[in-house]
Amino acid sequence: MTRAKSPTSDLARLRSLYDQITEEGLCTRPGVDPDHWFPDAEPAGNATTQRRFYEQAATARCAGCKALAACQVTAEVEERADLMLHDCAPHGIRGGLAPWARFERLLASNIAVETDKEEAA
Amino acid sequence: MTPSALFGFAATAFAYITANPISSAVIAAIALAVLVGAFLGGRALFRIGRRWWTGRPTEDAMTIVAASIATGVSAQGMWRFSGDVLGFSGPLQLLLFAFIEVAMVTSAVRARRNMRENHKAGVDGLAVWALTCLSAVLSSMDSASFPEAVFRLAAPIVAAWLWERGMAIERQRLTGRTRINWRMTPERMLVRVGLAESSDRTATEVDTHRRLTRVALTAKKARALREAGASGNKQARALAKLDKAMDRAVEHTGLVQDPAKQKRMLAQIAALYNTAELTKVEAPAFWQQPKEPSGFDQLALETSRMNERLEVRGEIREARDEMNEARTEIREAMANLVPLVALATGGRVVGRSVVRGGLGGGDTVRGDTGNGASGGAAPAPKPPVTPRVTRPVSRAQKTVSRKQNGLRRGTPTQPSREELERRIKWLHDLAKTNPDMDVTDLRDKAVEEYGVSTRTAYRYIEQAGLAPSDTDPGDTPRDTAGDASDGTARDTPDGPTPGAT
């Protein structure tokens, strides 16, 4: 099975995504509080209600952002590298997603990649 | 022009000039003036254009130029129309042929102004298109062939389109919105080619920076507390905060893996630790030339320093003398006191000490320990008591600044400058309307009116120019009781008050 080429395979493209985020992102407008996107602490795993609130806040913060897709892609790339190289879990709101949601996505995609490799082998 | 024709022209001109020199001189002067005027006008136009050009993208200017050309083409169509259909000729045609084009450009300018002021083109934006269509239809109806008709139709529409686009640039600049979201902006092209780099940071980078800064700040706080010798609790709390900030930085910023981030954080901490050095930075103003102090200046400096030293020395000597005097006084007083104490306790005087109950040992009341020799009979002198030194407790400097007077409890707000001026003017007017009032009356009025202290009231009166500001000690008004009819204490000035009379 052949997978489509990853959209972030070339660096220039990734850079243009970053440019889009800095130009159009709601979180990069002047005067916004970075604490809204990267709060000091995130709710723990068993605080389900607080997690739900957090997710609602995340979707609300990023609603209508033009750079949402770019943000999700860059977040995935960065956080995958962080996770694999430094064992750093995602944190903060990116692409309208809570960190645990992104973490699950990463795990899922990682599993997909690994199964691909197994199939190819 | 062939050389012979040129020669012929020159010969004719020469003949004309020799025939009537005065009129030719006038013509030459006028021609010169026209030339100079054209040069000046061209230069002014160039300057205006350059000023307009700076800070605008190329497409702005291109739009204006292209729109002018298209308008010219459509105006040419109207020239034909006015000549062929309307039968205008000569100056009348020159004056009237382009009225629709002029109206169109005027409407475009008005629409642009509307855009600037109301963020909408309004009716003028519509008028541009209406006039354009009118001009296009009229000039195409006069054309001889089908291709010409199409061309005549197209030219004004192109012009209108370009004017409209020029306005769109304005709109975009004003509202920050674009109708189309271009994926290929020049900036992006440059970024993609690698010639430019986007200077802005994403929220993640901002967050990283903040976390590192937080670590530096908490480290600074902890250090300040330790150096100030704050209580253990405070220090522990600060250290816990530092620990937490560091944890977060490590967890979320990849501080451990990234040497650049480590370096940045250390630089921040170093900068924060050495804030005190900022007070020692000597930045001479640009008008001050850095100059070596001359020998005379150095001498003067040394002399003043020596004088200071001598003064301090003299003060120390005086203080020492005073201390000695006080000591002798105390000694005398004690000497007088000892027999009294002996009388009271029924003891006997041994030298300068009193031995209670006639016993050899026991407690003694020592009169003098100035030289340590307190009578040979006194047994077992106590070891000299070292005075207990209480060191001043050094505290951490308060980080909060002093509150303003109005915000501090119990202190009235200082009146603003305007209010102060108003009060002074009021006093001035009062003194003018009631010339028989003296300073004390004015003071009482001010106290009544504004609820200030008498001292402040005097200050107001001084500033109003109603009393001498530099009063000698004898001149100051004094309170004397029972001066007023109602028995309250009132002030009587010692001398005449020049301003109040």
C-alpha to C-alpha distance for A55 and A101, rounded to whole angstroms: 9
Structure tokens at B162: 């370009």
Q: What percent of chain B has pLDDT over 70?
A: 70
Structure tokens at B240: 């816990």
Q: List the single range of A115-119, B271-275, B300-304, B478-482 with lowest mean pLDDT.
A: B478-482
> What integer pLDDT is reported at residue B33 of this predicted model?
95
- Dmax over CA atoms of chain B, in Å, equals 154
B-interface mutation test, from A22, A36, A85, most B Cβ less than 10 A away: A22
CA distance A121 to chain B (A): 33
CA distance B222 to chain A (A): 20
pLDDT band for A5, please (50, 70, 90 cuts).
low
Q: List the single range of A106-120, B38-52, B226-240, B474-488 with lowest mean pLDDT.
A: B474-488
Tokens 């008591």 found at: B385
Q: Which residue of A has its CA nearest to B258?
A: A86
Chain A contacts of B256, Cβ < 8 Å? 86
pLDDT per residue over B379-416, tens digit each? 555 556 655 666 656 666 555 555 665 565 555 667 77
Mean pLDDT of B169-183: 58
Chain B contacts of A79, Cβ < 8 Å? none
Mean pLDDT of B358-368: 43
Mean pLDDT, all residues of chain B: 76
Q: Which residue of B has its CA nearest to A27?
A: B203
Residue B367 has pLDDT above 60, yes or no: no
Chain A contacts of B192, Cβ < 8 Å? 12, 15-16
Chain B contacts of A38, Cβ < 8 Å? 203-204, 207, 210, 252
Q: Which residue of B has its CA nearest to A71?
A: B202
C-alpha to C-alpha distance for A51 and A72, rounded to whole angstroms: 19
| B210: contact with A, CB 8 A cutoff | yes
Give the three-class secondary structure for B137.
helix
Is A86–B200 a contact, with Cβ atoms under 8 angstroms apart?
Answer: no
Mean pLDDT of A63-75: 89
C-alpha to C-alpha distance for B104 and B71, rounded to whole angstroms: 9
pLDDT band for A28, please (50, 70, 90 cuts).
confident
B387 or B205, higher pLDDT: B205
pLDDT per residue over A9-19, tens digit each? 567 777 788 88
Residue B173 has pLDDT above 60, yes or no: yes
Domains in chain A: how many in total?
1
Structure tokens at B293: 């102090």
C-alpha to C-alpha distance for B367 and B365, rounded to whole angstroms: 6
Q: What are phi and psi of B330, to 5 degrees?
A: -60, -40
> What integer pLDDT is reported at residue B399 of this predicted model?
57
In a domain, A92, yes or no: yes
Chain A contacts of B252, Cβ < 8 Å? 38, 88, 91-92
> What integer pLDDT is reported at residue B371 of this predicted model?
45
Residue A104 is part of which domain span? Answer: 11-29+43-120
Mean pLDDT of B446-455: 81
For residue B69, with 0-12 CB atoms within 10 Å meaning exposed, 13-18 middle and 19 or more buried, which class applies? Answer: middle
> What integer pLDDT is reported at residue B372 of this predicted model?
43
Chain B contacts of A22, Cβ < 8 Å? 198, 200-202
**Residue among B191, B198, B207 minimizing CB distance to A38:** B207
In a domain, A53, yes or no: yes
Q: Which residue of A has its CA nearest to B248?
A: A40
CA distance A22 to chain B (A): 6
A-interface mutation test, from B204, B211, B214, B261, most A Cβ less than 10 A away: B204
| B201: contact with A, CB 8 A cutoff | yes
B233 or B495, higher pLDDT: B233
Is A28–B200 a contact, with Cβ atoms under 8 angstroms apart?
Answer: yes
The b/e string for B202-225 (b: 16+ C-beta within 10 A; e otherwise) is bbbebbbbebbbbbbbbbbbbbbb
Is B207–A34 a contact, with Cβ atoms under 8 angstroms apart?
Answer: yes
Is A78–B257 a contact, with Cβ atoms under 8 angstroms apart?
Answer: no
Q: Which residue of A has its CA nearest to B200?
A: A22
- Model ipTM? 0.71
Residue B279 has pLDDT above 90, yes or no: no
The helix or strand, by DSSP H or E, that contains position B171, with its residue range, turns out to be helix B146-175
Give the three-class secondary structure for B245.
helix
Q: How far lies B38's CA from each of B34, B44, B46, B68, in Å? A: 6, 10, 12, 21
Q: DSSP code of A57?
A: H
In a domain, A37, yes or no: no
Measured between alpha carbons, how far apart are the two ends of chain A, in Å? 11
- Name residues whose C-beta falls within 8 Å of residue B272's C-beta, 6 or more positions apart in sequence: B216, B217, B219, B220
Q: Which residue of B has its CA nearest to A23?
A: B200
C-alpha to C-alpha distance for B225 and B246, rounded to whole angstroms: 18
Is A21–B202 a contact, with Cβ atoms under 8 angstroms apart?
Answer: yes
Q: Are B17 and B24 in contact (CB under 8 A)?
A: yes
What are the sequence ranges of the domains in chain B? 57-180, 203-276, 296-365, 415-492
Give the three-class secondary structure for B303.
helix
Helix and strand tally (H, E) in chain B? Answer: 15, 5
**Residues of A at the B interface, defined by Cβ within 8 angstroms:** 12, 15-16, 18-19, 21-23, 25, 27-28, 34, 37-38, 40, 66, 74, 78, 82, 85-86, 88, 91-92, 94
